[in-house]
Amino acid sequence: MDRVKFQGGICVFIDELREQLGDDKVLSEDFERYVYGADWSPRTKEEIFPPDVVIVPKNTEDVAKTVKIAYEHAIPVTAGGGLTGMAGGAVPIHKGIYIDSTSMNQIIDVDVPNQTIRAQAGATLQEINDALEEHGLWLPNLPESKWICTIGSEIACDNDSTFGMRYGKILNALLSVQIVTGSGEILELGHRKCHFTSSGYKLKDLLVGSEGTLGVITEATLKVEPIPRERRVEMIIFSSMGTAVKFLDRLLKAGLTIEGAHINCKRRLKFYTHAYRKKYGKDPEIPDWAGALLAIIFAGDKEVVDFERNYALGIAEEMKGELVKEREIVKGWWISKHTLEFPPFKQKWPDSQREKKFGAVDPGIPMGRLEEFYDVFVKTAEKYNLQILGMNAYLEHPNSIGFSLSCALFVDYHDQDEVNRYLKYFEDMAKAAVDFEGTMSTYMSDTNLKVPYFEYEHGESAKYMKKVKDIFDPKGIMNPGKKFEYKGDVK
């Protein structure tokens, strides 16, 4: 069977989509499709892959109709949200149908007594929190892209959050999820509004980090939290990243509850203080001996926040840490990570990206090997002659030290040779993380970039993962080329 059939000059499957969904939900003009051919990852114009057609559904039934047509004709289906990914996870590299979930952004239910929210997959994290705020609740899973990152994408990529050290990642909040499988079947996976279950297999967990390879997420029910009354953000300078890790370990042993913590190398801080440079025309003054800057967030009742902050700073002093006293530096980091209250056109996204684009690897490594891995990061970037932006260690496991690393560079996306060198760096760093007894990915998921060495991390278990995919996606049409190789054959 040919993937695409034409009849009288009109693509048959696109014609069927129009009949089932209506013309207003089917976009096929070149200018409509082109914008869906890339995300934020470094790529030249030759690496932009517009889909054959874009669907803008309003509900789960629209998605199911779309996938049933795709299943009949063995057409690739890629679902996406705000396209803020940095590794091509939602780029339709095999064209076909692109489902733009942002057209499904309704808040379905806010259950205040049970502290849950039900939303369509295209609702942004900011839209979800806007709906919760009047009830004194919030969803803490907030990356910097919260104004455009959708909840479906958050689940599909297993994204990071500014507040992961207390609340964890999205799996800690996900209660139930609705999907359309690769054959067009609608399933609800999870345990409704209960926080946990020991019944059955936890199939909903498979959706976290699945990149749309098992099905299209259309709705989700999430556990939300009371908004803290008070919050205090501080930054502490340490001589090394390893010392910052020991400091956090000491706070946990003391019984403190930290809302968020990020360890920045000295280079990385400059990226987050872009607003400071814009205001004062210079970089903030950081001592030469500084090897790490720890941003730490305390939250709760004022008395608790004050106590925890003072107790933590006392421990920091014992460990030769130095409080950053210039509040503009702290404010600049906080604006960059959370409030995003930048003057127009004077923010790091995209103001710092005009000539070169942010490119990062997202490995996870054991807590005791951060310094060692940082050296690998610097040497690997230098090996490929790439400009280092810096390392950020996000702490994303509740009340413990669990790293999600951003090992970032500036990449000239106009230069194919530099993009190719970046991809070699990407591979070396991913494999190095596995060699460190860690993982290749902590917030971008696998994308097509890791397909050639997916088994390097997963070994024989990759075969069982493929069997799981085959159950949910019998013809292999769901976001093909991600996690597993796609040859375009019809099963």
| Domain-located, residue 364 | yes
pLDDT at 307: 98
Beta strands in 33-106 (DSSP E): 53-55, 77-80, 97-100
Residue spans of alpha helices (H) in 22-150: 30-34, 60-73, 125-133
Secondary element (H or E) of residue 363: none
Residues 399 and 331 in one domain: no
Residues 110 and 191 in one domain: yes
Q: What is the pLDDT along the chain (491 residues), one digit of tens a residue?
A: 344 444 433 478 999 999 999 999 999 999 999 999 999 899 998 899 999 999 999 999 999 999 999 999 999 999 999 998 889 999 999 999 999 999 999 999 999 999 999 999 999 999 999 999 999 999 999 988 899 999 999 999 999 999 999 999 999 999 999 999 999 999 999 999 999 999 999 999 999 999 999 999 999 999 999 999 999 999 999 999 999 999 999 999 999 999 999 999 988 877 666 667 777 787 777 788 999 999 999 999 999 999 999 999 999 999 999 998 888 888 888 888 888 776 665 666 556 667 788 899 999 999 999 999 999 999 999 999 999 999 999 999 999 999 999 999 999 999 999 999 999 999 999 999 999 999 999 999 999 999 999 999 999 999 999 999 999 999 999 999 999 998 775 44
> What is the three-class DSSP state of 330?
helix
Residues 246 and 315 in one domain: yes
Alpha-carbon 414 to chain mean position: 24
Closest residue by Cα to residue 215 from 27, 25, 66: 66
Sheet holding 107-111, edge to edge: 107-111, 116-120, 215-223, 174-181, 186-190
Residues 221 and 108 in one domain: yes
Instruction: Say how far apart CA 178 and CA 112 lie, in whole Å.
Output: 21
Q: Collect all residues with Cβ–Cβ distance below 8 Å to 210 and sequence separation of at least 6.
A: 156, 445
Closest residue by Cα to residue 120 from 179, 65, 173: 179
Residues 379 and 431 in one domain: yes
pLDDT at 337: 84
Contact predicate 72/198, CB 8 Å: no
| Domain-located, residue 320 | yes
Q: How many domains is the chain built from? A: 3
Residues 152 and 192 in one domain: yes
Contact predicate 137/227, CB 8 Å: yes
Given 345, 361, 382, the domain boundary residue is 345
| Domain-located, residue 8 | no
Instruction: Say how far apart CA 425 and CA 87 lie, in whole Å.
Output: 13
Instruction: Say how far apart CA 166 and CA 296 lie, in whole Å.
Output: 11
Q: Which residues pair with 110 in a beta bridge?
A: 117
Instruction: Say how far apart CA 420 and CA 106 lie, in whole Å.
Output: 40
| Domain-located, residue 92 | no
| Domain-located, residue 371 | yes
Instruction: Say how far apart CA 166 and CA 335 lie, in whole Å.
Output: 20
Provide the sign of the torsion angle of the four alpha carbons 126, 128, 132, 134, taken in this order: positive
Given 327, 345, 363, the domain boundary residue is 345
CATH code of residue 431: 3.40.462.10
CATH code of residue 138: 3.30.465.10
Instruction: Say how far apart CA 440 and CA 442 lie, in whole Å.
Output: 7
Diameter of the chain measured on Cα atoms: 78
| Domain-located, residue 19 | no
CATH code of residue 335: 3.30.70.3450
Buried/exposed 306-338: b ≥16 CB within 10 Å, e otherwise: eebbeebeebbeeeebbebeeeebbbbbbbbbb
pLDDT at 75: 95
Given 445, 468, 483, the domain boundary residue is 445
| Domain-located, residue 475 | no
pLDDT at 333: 84
Residues 367 and 433 in one domain: yes
pLDDT at 490: 43
| Domain-located, residue 137 | yes
Q: Which structural domain range is residue 397 located in?
A: 353-445
pLDDT at 481: 96
Instruction: Say how far apart CA 244 and CA 241 lie, in whole Å.
Output: 5
Residues 117 and 218 in one domain: yes
Residues 219 and 116 in one domain: yes
- The pair of structure tokens assigned to 39 is 């995300």
Instruction: Say how far apart CA 82 and CA 36 lie, in whole Å.
Output: 10
> What is the three-class DSSP state of 98?
strand
Q: What is the DSSP string of 297-329?
A: EEEESHHHHHHHHHHHHHHHHHTT-EE---HHH
Beta strands in 362-460 (DSSP E): 387-395, 403-411
Indicate yes or no: pTM above 0.85. yes
Q: Say if residue 350 is preceded by a cis peptide, omega within 30 of 0.
A: yes
> Cα separations (Å) of 467 from 131, 178, 470?
39, 21, 5
> Cα separations (Å) of 33 from 19, 51, 475?
19, 6, 24
Residues 210 and 158 in one domain: yes
Residues 222 and 239 in one domain: no
Residues 408 and 332 in one domain: no
Instruction: Say how far apart CA 465 and CA 487 lie, in whole Å.
Output: 18
Instruction: Say how far apart CA 391 and CA 270 lie, in whole Å.
Output: 11
- The pair of structure tokens assigned to 353 is 């990206």
pLDDT at 6: 40
